[in-house]
């Protein structure tokens, strides 16, 4: 799966590759071109759909939730890269948002 992010600042993908790979399971590489960062990951929408299926046994919003989780993960990656924020703080905030989304869906 490829996720594209518009870059607001120049980054060095070689320096980021190993650190991001350690933080994000499924991450396989970065490609930069035309001002876009492409994060290539082994985790796709179908994998995320499997993860959230337990939260939506009727299957009514599984794909919607999977898309939201994917978007949250990419936004966390973008925020970490562009602001050099602490990755754990970024992830904790995103996890809280995802938990809130799932809680609303379960109610």
Q: Is pLDDT above 60 for 90?
A: yes
d(CA 16, CA 27): 12
The model's pTM is 0.39
| Segment 3-20, tens digit of pLDDT | 555 555 555 555 566 666
What is the model's pLDDT at position 101? 66
What is the model's pLDDT at position 48? 47
Instruction: Please indicate whether residue 100 or residue 34 has the higher confidence score (pLDDT).
Output: 100
Q: Using only C-alpha atoms, what is the Rg of the chain? A: 15
Q: Is pLDDT above 60 for 80?
A: yes
């Amino acid at each position: 799966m490829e996720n594209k992010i518009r870059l607001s600042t120049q980054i060095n993908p070689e320096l980021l590759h190993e650190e991001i790979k350690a933080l994000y399971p499924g991450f396989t590489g970065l490609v930069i071109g035309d001002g876009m960062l492409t994060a290539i990951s082994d985790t796709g929408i179908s994998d995320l759909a499997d993860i959230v299926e337990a939260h939506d046994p009727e299957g009514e919003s599984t794909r919607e939730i999977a898309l939201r989780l994917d978007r949250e993960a990419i936004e966390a990656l973008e925020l970490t890269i562009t602001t050099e924020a602490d990755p754990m703080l970024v992830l904790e905030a995103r996890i809280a948002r995802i938990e809130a989304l799932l809680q609303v869906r379960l109610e």
